[in-house]
A and B are shown apart, each in its own frame.
Chain A
Amino acid sequence: MRVTTHRPFRARLATSVSRGAAALSRATGRGDGSVIGGRLGLIIDPDLLAHLAAGREIALVSGTNGKTTTTRLTAAALGVRGPVATNSYGANMPTGHTSALAKAGETPYAVLEVDEHYLPQVLAATGPRVIALLNLSRDQLDRAKEVAMMAQLWRDALRDKPVHLVANADDPMVVFAAAESTNVTWVAAGQRWHDDSWVCPECGGAIVRADDGVDADWRCTTCNLRRPAPQWRLDGEAVVGPDGNRYPVHLQLPGRVNRANAATALAVAARFGVAPADALPRLAEVASVAGRYAQVQRDGRAIRLLLAKNPAGWLEAFDMADQAPTLLSINARDPDGLDTSWLFDVDFAPLRGRPVLITGDRAFDLAVRLEVNEVPFRHVPTFAAALAAVPPGRLEVIANYTAFQDIRAELDRVN
């Protein structure tokens, strides 16, 4: 498919500067170029993102957890149809989107991961065909909007928009956000973390669930908000589509949550005319996502990297990790949020019985938490010390954002 766009001169100049700056950033080793190029381009042409989006069929992916992975899976699935532009480095604000589209040149498709705060803005700028809404839970509360406020922000932005939603039926906050939208495909993508959705965002009533399962039926006890019937759901190792067909999913990525992310990717791709059977081999090729789930051999240790940025993400990481020695690393730098209080929202009990090592800037916060949680641990000063402290074999590493990046850097920025 040939895309012809006639961008204004300012947009062409901005695109060219943006690409040049991104290349310069990479060449000088100062960054991966995923933000700086977009920032410069947007200064020259504030409407650059809209200009770059014009003529492409776009899917946006947003939510608290799983954005980067689902974006990767969705881009892989849409690749069946043709070239796809995507912000694969997790640079998920408008500068990152601008860089990604400028760098990709003209492509018929784009799949963009969007920071949940920026969804209204990016929706307005890019006019997407489909938006995937994954989940909403507490994340970096010293600066993020409260969960219910975020759901309201989404709902207001989505009201009366012609976009089609692919939304998680298992998250009451997502269902509330999509409640005034008419075109919705519901995916039973699961919700392991329930502690931000006991109170109905619609009316303040209590939300009850049929059981403790991740895809349990739920409803508000006082208003009409309830779990919509999903068109896509998981059944063991398979995804069941709206046609009732069972599609076995063989991913390299671990955990139930990634099978759910795959279901969302398949549902989005289906809106673009990609059949699940065609998309599934593409999904199986994804081995890691910006270092997440990457497996590295070092000194006889088979290290696997898991990123967990908030309580819901930690619960998913425990579900993915093998019963093996586990290193936990916690920082509280700006990108992580400065507040470590959330450690007490996480129940670390699933780690009992595994040798646990801890490190990171805020290892002592974690130490106090684990002591109260009755999870034995050993503190190590560095990643190298952690490696030396475990026997050859599997080492699971679970870290929050900057701690993850630090360890990734020690492993030669593994992707």
Chain B
Amino acid sequence: MSTESRLRIVWLYPDLLSTYGDRGNLLILARRAHLRGLTVEPSEVRSDQPVPVEADIYLLGGGEDGPQALAAQRLIADGGLRKAVERRAVVFAVCAGYQLMGASFFAKGQRCTGLELLDLSSDRGPSRAVGELAGEVDPDLGLPTLTGFENHGGRTHLGPDVRPLARVSVGVGNDGQTEGAWSGTVLGTYSHGPALSRNPALADLLLRWATGRQTLEPLDDTWSDRLRGERLTAVKGTT
């Protein structure tokens, strides 16, 4: 959490983990913070640059096997993200970025070591999960229904030290039952790409975690709400 009034948001490794509009989460967080009067300092850190330890929110996006394995190697070697998490920085990781927060994942037919920042591990599923994803979020997070789009071949097994982000009602998520995971201020999801565009309340949760504020002034979310309503209606009856 920053002692100054500026909020530092780092998008990690856009050169490796940026496949499906992942930049959207950075843009959405920055805008929602800015509208609350916060001074936002967004930055992008490439995989050949050191991970800054002092940022408030770290974002990780999706990617294919090769880049995912390389990202994990470089993040482990760098060590900065682990230090940031130890000082309770917020991490929001989607898809491939989510998998590499765990102990291990499969890429290019091999088991790869992850960052062990979430108690989970991932392997290959019987088929690729592609399509709409929805589920009721862990009541402790106080968020409305999660809605998103997933596209991944992995299945993720949660350990006792994490809680599922949501119970799946549409789609696959971790394993057809649960979707995503969270522990402390680290949160991951298979809702890929600009996941926060459909889930502004989740964006605000990350901002509250990062700023320590109990509440944030409400914003006009007319278009996000219409989008949510449309997507949740579209998937009704597909379960």
1/0 per position for B225-239, CB-CB distance to A under 8 A?
Answer: 011001000000000
Q: Does the CB pair A341–B15 fall under 8 Å?
A: no
Check B201 for interface membership: any CB of A closer than 8 A.
no
For the complex, what is the distance from the CA of A138 to the CA of B192, rounded to whole Å? 16
Q: Which of A23-31, A255-263, A342-350 interfaces with chain B?
A: A342-350
CB neighbours of B112 from chain A (8 A) = none
- Chain A residue, CB-CB nearest to B20: A341
Check B19 for interface membership: any CB of A closer than 8 A.
yes
Measured between C-beta atoms, what is the minimum distance from B219 to chain A in Å? 10
Q: Does the CB pair A338–B15 fall under 8 Å?
A: no
Q: Which of B21-29, B77-85, B116-124 interfaces with chain A?
A: B21-29
Which of these, A143, A149, A342, A371, contacts B21 with CB under 8 Å? A342
CB neighbours of A148 from chain B (8 A) = 64, 66
Q: Does the CB pair B20–A372 fall under 8 Å?
A: no
Check A387 for interface membership: any CB of B closer than 8 A.
no
Q: Given A206-B15, A344-B194, are A141 and B20 neighbors across the interface (CB < 8 Å)?
A: yes
Q: Does the CB pair A199–B227 fall under 8 Å?
A: no
Q: Given A204-B66, A341-B149, are A364 and B20 neighbors across the interface (CB < 8 Å)?
A: no
Check B16 for interface membership: any CB of A closer than 8 A.
yes
For the complex, what is the distance from the CA of A340 to the CA of B27, rounded to whole Å? 16
Q: Does the CB pair A198–B21 fall under 8 Å?
A: no
Check B36 for interface membership: any CB of A closer than 8 A.
no
Check B52 for interface membership: any CB of A closer than 8 A.
no
Q: Does the CB pair A339–B15 fall under 8 Å?
A: no
Check A278 for interface membership: any CB of B closer than 8 A.
no
* Size category, A interface: 20 to 34
Q: Does the CB pair A364–B230 fall under 8 Å?
A: yes
For the complex, what is the distance from the CA of A162 to the CA of B49, rounded to whole Å? 43
* Most chain B beta-carbon contacts within 10 A, residue among A143, A342, A345: A345
Q: Does the CB pair B197–A369 fall under 8 Å?
A: yes
Q: Which residues of B (196-239) have their CB < 8 Å from a CB of A? A: 197-198, 223-224, 226-227, 230
CB neighbours of B70 from chain A (8 A) = 204
For the complex, what is the distance from the CA of A284 to the CA of B5, rounded to whole Å? 59
Q: Given A141-B151, A339-B149, are A365 and B197 neighbors across the interface (CB < 8 Å)?
A: yes
* Size category, B interface: 20 to 34
Check A410 for interface membership: any CB of B closer than 8 A.
no
Q: Does the CB pair A364–B223 fall under 8 Å?
A: yes
Q: Which residues of A (322-375) have their CB < 8 Å from a CB of B? A: 338-345, 364-365, 367-369, 371-373
Measured between C-beta atoms, what is the minimum distance from B13 to chain A in Å? 10
Q: Does the CB pair A368–B224 fall under 8 Å?
A: yes
Measured between C-beta atoms, what is the minimum distance from B25 to chain A in Å? 8
CB neighbours of B184 from chain A (8 A) = none
Q: Does the CB pair A198–B226 fall under 8 Å?
A: no
CB neighbours of A367 from chain B (8 A) = 223, 226-227
Check B38 for interface membership: any CB of A closer than 8 A.
no
CB neighbours of B15 from chain A (8 A) = 198-199, 206
* Most chain A beta-carbon contacts within 10 A, residue among B20, B67, B70, B149: B20
Q: Does the CB pair A344–B223 fall under 8 Å?
A: no
Check A406 for interface membership: any CB of B closer than 8 A.
no
For the complex, what is the distance from the CA of A199 to the CA of B19, rounded to whole Å? 13
Check B164 for interface membership: any CB of A closer than 8 A.
no
Check B141 for interface membership: any CB of A closer than 8 A.
no
Q: Which residues of A (112-156) have their CB < 8 Å from a CB of B? A: 138, 141-143, 146, 148-149
CB neighbours of B46 from chain A (8 A) = 206
CB neighbours of B224 from chain A (8 A) = 368
CB neighbours of B24 from chain A (8 A) = 341, 343-344, 369, 372
Measured between C-beta atoms, what is the minimum distance from B107 to chain A in Å? 13
Measured between C-beta atoms, what is the minimum distance from B99 to chain A in Å? 16
CB neighbours of B226 from chain A (8 A) = 364, 367
Q: Does the CB pair B20–A342 fall under 8 Å?
A: yes
For the complex, what is the distance from the CA of A143 to the CA of B151, rounded to whole Å? 9
CB neighbours of A299 from chain B (8 A) = none
Q: Does the CB pair B151–A142 fall under 8 Å?
A: yes
For the complex, what is the distance from the CA of A138 to the CA of B22, rounded to whole Å? 13
CB neighbours of A372 from chain B (8 A) = 24, 27-28, 31, 197
CB neighbours of B23 from chain A (8 A) = 344-345
Which of these, A146, A199, A341, A364, contacts B193 with CB under 8 Å? A341
Could you show 8 A-B contacts with beta carbons less than 8 Å apart? A138-B19, A338-B130, A344-B193, A344-B194, A345-B20, A368-B227, A372-B28, A372-B197
**Known A338-B130, A344-B194, A372-B27; further 18 A-B contacts with Cβ < 8 A:** A138-B19, A149-B64, A338-B149, A341-B20, A341-B21, A341-B24, A341-B193, A342-B21, A343-B194, A344-B21, A344-B197, A345-B20, A364-B223, A364-B226, A364-B230, A368-B198, A372-B31, A372-B197
